[in-house]
A and B are shown apart, each in its own frame.
Chain A
């Protein structure tokens, strides 16, 4: 099936979820946006721009907000980052642009770049104007993009702007990958992700849904297209490897988040435990609180300093009411048909950093739902026949242009970097799109 517009209308959101997951960072009012924009110094070769993986010209778009040129502001953002609206909401700005703002050294609050970016993008969406770009003159070339997440979307946009046909193949019903299904709703609502993708469709990006790509399908696409971009992301969440793990009441963070975002999950039982210490684990724990759990526990093997979640995410979760248990691990699942409790063991760190459970120090935590968030595997089995070079399941690429070991294949996003932020995937996709266009031009120059 191939559709091109109207994803936004098809968003399966539920009003109850919308009510429970109000904006984490409310939008700026027009007057505050202008005042905030005026605070920006307009730094030369600005550190905020350097820190942004897509290198949005931050002072330039901010000055345009200050002057009331909102159209120009949105164009400046989109020119560098075609998913500027999602990134404005989903980016960990504290460690990116805002983290590097010179204002920190001036004893002042950094400029609220994320909220200003959202302000400009919201204004563009509200105006109903299309993307301020048009497709390049048709080159007759076409590229298949596997996976519909941010890397592929950014790559496809770059290709369309250069007159190359871009067809995205995704296993799900709606495009966007993690943007649509994986980011906490109070940061990036599902509908907003789709609204943005509608604009890409207007640029002529084509979508094929429910289209799982296996080795066989890939071979067919390879024969049919001039190049292939792999933006397949990561695979399923790891399992604990305990008995009874398939029992009802055990789920994983990705399914849990996708479930509530698409409205199939609207409530949770009394007591929820989330296993893990990453940003996804935190998102799942906060979601459980907002979905009405009375107790939400986070179970993590090491201490708060070792969590891979950002410090500000940890602080946020504490404020939401999540209870943290450090240096413990589940060693057993209790319950007849559905889960009733987790058996936890205290962990001891050996001198070489190895963690070993202390059996005698165990305790039992009553829970009704266990959400696993202990890292994702890779999803590159269908490439194992040596199509592209892999390393620990990740696709090896030249980061400058997304080239893999196979000249016809390019890749970017989580399947190459092992799992980072949306903006990193967008930057990868953009560089790969430019790389593909350059390669197609050279490869076919004599054809």
Chain B
């Protein structure tokens, strides 16, 4: 089964687009949310760029479909007629009355939609009208509306969850209680992307003013993964899941599936690069599955869920330390200053010194070096000044050394090192058996209890 769906958003605005997307390789599409047509503002999008990369995070203050319901339904029917094997889901949002929902469900199913996605997430505009996240944030409404829809629906009902809530499991449980067949998560996250420092106007700019918008794209993936994991590891909330939020590569898709998703939905990546990105997503996922020996998605779906535990269930006696591969080190010394300023002062620049010297702070080292007198090396005059670097490509004085005894194994240095595989975290045997915080507390409680009763064996 093709797990790559387009999320309900501009890429699924109309039938013509969705048919082109199917041609490009998408397995399904969730239609841009249908409801009473609305009026949008301009502009509507703003984004966060990072280190020269565009659109690491995208923000929008767009509402649901601005096209008449009849037009959308007619096009759904058309798409289903031409692409019967592709999945077309109608995303719905109507006013919170039983009749309105019943009518809408009837009409979309009559048009031929394969399923319904209830948009309880849209954080802007619609919530002010008592829809979208105004529903998604109140578990009772979630359950109630899901139940209304289920009374009528003949096709599967997916509830799309909003992340703008303190515990995503609560609306998920409500949706399940209301009879939902599946969940999708997440919708966009409330955000303000930034403020123009010349005009002091927030973005996106609508006649000098702005509003909080929904955040999505690569920046939100970690939040989305966490929310999917939370829901999927809660038996009272877990349902078949469509993972959404920052999916742009096959790796992203694999991660969502490993946490229990059956399909993934994509919006920002398709807005950024067009429908064609699905080709590598599918191709890369298949290649990875081949390498791992997985025949189908079910072979690895949810496989990582048992590996996400609570903090108190982690092994306290597992010790790793940083290890610097001297032959790869380029001598940028970012790990050195990161460990000094951001971690535990256990990386040192003293390889050139006769004996280890752990007293020189980064500031002192910088000051010493700035006092040296440098000259332009002239080929003829300074032929001998260009000395070799000994066994390594980098001068020894610039290759940092890890003081393993004090390294807490936090990873920071390996995260800042610009050279792949230069700093690796290596396990060191502590000689202690695995022990979690939970076990330690239990033992401590037992020890305390035994101290009172005077058990001599402890």
Contacts and interface: CB of A to CB of B under 8 A. Distances in A.
A308 B370 contact: no
Contacts of B381: 308, 418
Nearest to B392: A105
Interface string A393-430: 00000011000000000000000011011011001000
Contact of A44 (B52, B362, B374): B362
Contacts of A308: 378-381
Contacts of A28: none
Interface in B346-382: 349, 362, 365-366, 369-370, 372-381
A253 to B, nearest CB: 17
A424 B330 contact: no
Contacts of A309: 379
B376 A53 contact: yes
B377 A45 contact: no
A326 B334 CA distance: 47
Interface in A20-56: 34-35, 38, 41-45, 47, 49-53, 55
A43 B332 contact: yes
Contacts of A43: 331-334
A96 B386 CA distance: 12
B366 A45 contact: yes
A209 interface: no
B373 A399 contact: yes
A418 B381 CA distance: 10
Interface in A355-413: 399-400
A49 B332 CA distance: 12
Contacts of B331: 43, 47, 102, 105
Nearest to B395: A47
A93 to B, nearest CB: 10
Interface in A81-113: 91-92, 95-96, 102-103, 105-106
B334 A106 contact: no
A310 interface: yes
B376 A105 contact: no
Interface centre among A35, A43, A421 (most CB of B within 10 A): A43
A2 interface: no
Contacts of B194: none
B408 interface: no
B109 to A, nearest CB: 51
Contacts of B250: none
B337 A400 contact: no
B418 interface: yes
Given A96-B376, A105-B330, A44 B418 contact: no
B374 A51 contact: yes
A308 B140 CA distance: 84
Nearest to B374: A53
B379 A38 contact: no
Contact of B52 (A34, A92, A421): A34
A45 B376 contact: no
Interface centre among B331, B332, B372, B393 (most CB of A within 10 A): B332
B370 A55 contact: yes
B161 to A, nearest CB: 36
B65 to A, nearest CB: 37
Contacts of A41: 332, 334, 418
B333 A95 contact: no
B412 interface: no
B376 A44 contact: no
A44 B370 contact: no
B44 interface: no
A106 B376 contact: no
A103 B380 CA distance: 26
Given A43-B332, A102-B331, A50 B419 contact: no
A96 B376 CA distance: 6
Nearest to B380: A308
Contact of A45 (B330, B333, B394, B418): B333
Contacts of A399: 373
A417 B374 CA distance: 13
Nearest to B377: A95
Nearest to B370: A55
A95 B330 contact: no
B398 interface: yes
Contact of A106 (B330, B333, B336, B369): B330
A350 B391 CA distance: 37
A349 B365 CA distance: 48
B51 interface: yes
A127 interface: no
B376 A424 contact: yes
Contacts of B375: 53, 417, 420, 424
Contacts of A420: 375-376, 378
A105 B393 contact: yes
B130 to A, nearest CB: 43
A218 interface: no
A438 interface: no
A102 B336 CA distance: 15
Given A34-B52, A45-B362, A102-B330, A55 B394 contact: no
A106 B422 CA distance: 11
A307 interface: yes
B362 A52 contact: no
A188 to B, nearest CB: 16
Interface in B300-333: 330-333
A105 B334 CA distance: 15
A420 B376 CA distance: 7
Contact of A50 (B330, B337, B369, B378): B369
Contacts of A96: 376
A106 B327 CA distance: 11
B334 A310 contact: no
A45 B393 contact: no
Interface string B416-458: 0011000000000000000000000000000000000000000
Contacts of A51: 374
A106 B362 CA distance: 23
Interface in B50-109: 51-52
Given A38-B51, A44-B366, A102 B377 contact: no
B419 A44 contact: no
**Which 10 A-B pairs have CB atoms at the shortest separation, nearest pair first?**
A44-B333, A308-B380, A44-B337, A105-B330, A43-B332, A421-B376, A102-B330, A38-B52, A45-B366, A41-B332
Given A96-B376, A106-B418, A427-B374, 15 more contacts: A41-B334, A43-B332, A44-B333, A45-B365, A49-B370, A50-B372, A53-B376, A102-B330, A102-B332, A105-B330, A306-B380, A308-B378, A308-B379, A309-B379, A427-B373
19 contacts: A34-B52, A41-B334, A42-B334, A43-B331, A44-B333, A44-B336, A47-B398, A50-B374, A102-B330, A102-B331, A105-B331, A105-B394, A308-B380, A399-B373, A400-B373, A420-B375, A420-B376, A420-B378, A424-B375
Interface of B: 51-52, 330-334, 336-337, 349, 362, 365-366, 369-370, 372-381, 393-394, 398, 418-419
